[in-house]
Structure 1
Amino acid sequence: MTEIPPVSETARNLRVWVLTNGMAGFESQAIGIAEALGAAPEIKRVAPRGPWKWLAPWGPAAPQADIAPPWPDLLIASGRQSIPYARMIRRQSAGRTFTVILQDPRVAPAHFDFVWAPAHDRLEGPNVLSTLASPHRLTREKLAAEAARFATQVAHLPHPRIAVLLGGSNAVYRLSEDTAARIAAQLAGLAEREGAGLMVTPSRRTGAAQTETIRAALEDKPAIVWDGSGDNPYFGFLGLADAVIVTCDSVNMVGEAAFTGKPVHVIELEAHRRKKEAKFRRFLDGIYASGAARPFTGRLESWEYAPLNATDEIAEAIALRLRACMAEARKG
């Protein structure tokens, strides 16, 4: 009997495209899945203008020079603007391109070979897989390597060392200056009361004033606040941390923190769009129920849980379906 290769070898010899609109979150998830399957994908970015942009995901694909035959063996697409292209490629390849969609495509999943959607989207179908956390590019090896890169920068910090991952305002949540002041006071309290060393990574959405408030509060504390220059220490801080504090506005950041197996404390921000908050609320309630995370109360807690690894779970499901399709094609 022919030995089935490991998941990480599934797509090594296949032509693989990752297709997105270039947004970092979509692209990172798709590349993470491709890498877990053993592929070095070609990155395709689409930017249709009106009327194609407005008609996505239901309308036709806008002409784009680099989206043309020869079609890939495996397509991993993510984001609303990618959907018309994924449908076109599957159709024009006569089904020979195995099409994977990440996130709810907003059209029937039956248009594709495999769809992953986060559990909080409540998408169902025979070819749909849902997981609590989202896929990403983190691996144990990458965490260790990034921790080694930044170890000297945090060597002076005491334990417990806490990675503080700050998002910011988005379509659902608001990180106001008042909220930043509250977070700053809580972090300073951890350093003073519990002797914690703080490794803080703000994002572009955190806001200049908010970041400065937090930086000023930690100026005389055992803390590092990344200033945006040089290499991003985000993964390094995760690898070096004894625990993680993360704002609730990014499903990806919370999921990556839960991949570490370290206690994850979630800072819940003020929601200003209640209807859109419902999905985030389902996600947060789900990750609390899983045991991976707890709401941040201003104090550190310690607990254990099985690390969340949606990337491998999704890659394994794709590999199983892809191998079955390839075997069927050989028979034909």
Structure 2
Amino acid sequence: MGTTPKVIWAVADTRRGVENQAIGLAEAIARHLGDAVTARVTIRDDGYVTLPEHDTPDIWIGCGRPALKLARRHRKIFPGARFVYVQDPRNHYDRFDLIVAPGHDRVRKANAISMIGSPHRVTPDRLAKAEAAFAKHLAALPAPRATVLIGGPNKRFKVTPDVSANLEARIGDLLDAGYSLMLSVSRRTPKALTGALKARFGDDKRVWLFDGTGENPYFAFLAAADLICVTEDSTNMLVEAAATGKPLYSLPLDGDPGKFSRLYGALEAHGALRPLLGPVESWTYTPLDATAQAAREVVLRLGLEPQGAAA
């Protein structure tokens, strides 16, 4: 690859959670190498691929099913690139030089790297910048502060009326315990639940409720929190929250977590995660550094030489 900066492509479709995994690993590798540039390759819903200005990648990192298909074609176009896939490529293991897979997927292949959860973009620097950018809004919320991140139904979990009522009650308990709230819903959150939360908490001056309108304060919410609560369906957000070192509580939904129970167990074993069953507590643990660890392993396995400080 010579002495010029290495080019890392992050290849994914338009889903935010998928995109963040590819970009998160690309950025972590770039930080580790110290002399690299990252570029986003977007696979649109219509199949059109938006290529970056850096037209030849040294490292190609993909995530999501559309990236699986594109990898086959790009391996022929860019024979000198090293190909990495995030998640389980399911029967396409030989398409990639390396696979970075969640430990709960139990991918047992010679070219697989296992990590707790999936790569993400949470770093101390990004958190600090986000907190500074939203400092005026955050200052209106007296400490202590709790961040509550609410996902929604998926293949494994449902948000029933009983679940919604329980979530609303637990959020109210945090307010009663003296916490200001930074509350965020997602695109998957049922409209009825979002409406109920707005009706109950929307006018409270100790609550900042983000419903997707305007600039997203997600990183600022993580940075400014004294504790974080995340619904158990949101595995990416659970791992991202664990990267902060803040006390992390899971909020139950209705369903069977299946393989994700192994992820919850890993987060609990790390000291990060507890179920929210009663009064909240405060505790400390080492921030989960799984993305940086995976990046270092990728660099090692690919035989690349870091030119700057490790991530």
TM-score (norm 1): 0.82
Structure 1 equivalent of residue 220 of structure 2: 236
- Displacement of 1:11 after TM fit? 10
1:125-274 map, 5 Å: 125-192=109-176, 194-218=177-201, 219-220=203-204, 222-271=206-255, 274=256
Q: 2:48 and 2:145 mapped to 1: Cα distance?
A: 51
Structure 2 equivalent of residue 322 of structure 1: 302
Note if contact 2:245-2:272 (Cα within 8 Å) is conserved in structure 1: yes
2:276 to 292, 296, 312: 296
Q: 2:304 and 2:107 mapped to 1: Cα distance?
A: 23
1:102-117 map, 5 Å: 102-117=86-101
Check if 1:88 corresponds to 2:73.
yes
SS in 2 for 1:134: coil
Q: 1:164 and 1:27 mapped to 2: Cα distance?
A: 22
Q: 1:233 and 1:283 mapped to 2: Cα distance?
A: 26
Structure 2 equivalent of residue 15 of structure 1: 7
Note if contact 2:41-2:50 (Cα within 8 Å) is conserved in structure 1: no
Structure 2 equivalent of residue 79 of structure 1: 64
Q: 1:213 and 1:111 mapped to 2: Cα distance?
A: 47
SS in 2 for 1:104: coil
- Displacement of 1:12 after TM fit? 7.5
- Displacement of 1:26 after TM fit? 1.5
- Displacement of 1:289 after TM fit? 2.2
Q: Which amino acid aligns with 2:282?
A: S
- Displacement of 1:65 after TM fit? 9.0
Note if contact 2:41-2:49 (Cα within 8 Å) is conserved in structure 1: no
Q: 2:174 and 2:70 mapped to 1: Cα distance?
A: 49
Q: Which amino acid aligns with 2:60?
A: L
SS in 2 for 1:152: helix
Structure 1's 12 and 254: CA in aligned 2 closer, same or farther, altered over 3 A?
Answer: farther
Note if contact 2:42-2:51 (Cα within 8 Å) is conserved in structure 1: no
Higher deviation after alignment, 286-295 or 32-41: 32-41
TM-score (norm 2): 0.87
Between structures 1 and 2, the one with greater strand share: 2
1:35-74 map, 5 Å: 35-38=27-30, 39-46=36-43, 71-74=56-59
Note if contact 2:21-2:120 (Cα within 8 Å) is conserved in structure 1: yes
Q: 1:123 and 1:301 mapped to 2: Cα distance?
A: 35
Structure 2 equivalent of residue 97 of structure 1: 81
Q: Which amino acid aligns with 1:99?
A: F
- Displacement of 1:228 after TM fit? 2.6
- Displacement of 1:91 after TM fit? 4.3
Structure 1's 225 and 119: CA in aligned 2 closer, same or farther, altered over 3 A?
Answer: same
Q: Which amino acid aligns with 1:214?
A: L
CA RMSD, 1 decimal: 2.7
CA displacement 1:211-258 (0-9 Å, x = unmatched): 121222324472221243221111101100001011111111000100
Note if contact 1:150-1:237 (Cα within 8 Å) is conserved in structure 2: no
The higher relative CO (CA closer than 8 Å, separation ≥ 6) is in 2
Q: Which amino acid aligns with 1:119?
A: G
- Displacement of 1:305 after TM fit? 1.1
Q: Which amino acid aligns with 1:190?
A: L
Alignment length (residue pairs): 298
Q: Which amino acid aligns with 2:233?
A: D
- Displacement of 1:82 after TM fit? 1.3
Structure 1: stretches of 5+ with no match in the other structure: 1-9, 50-61, 327-332
- Displacement of 1:209 after TM fit? 1.4
Identity level (%): 39
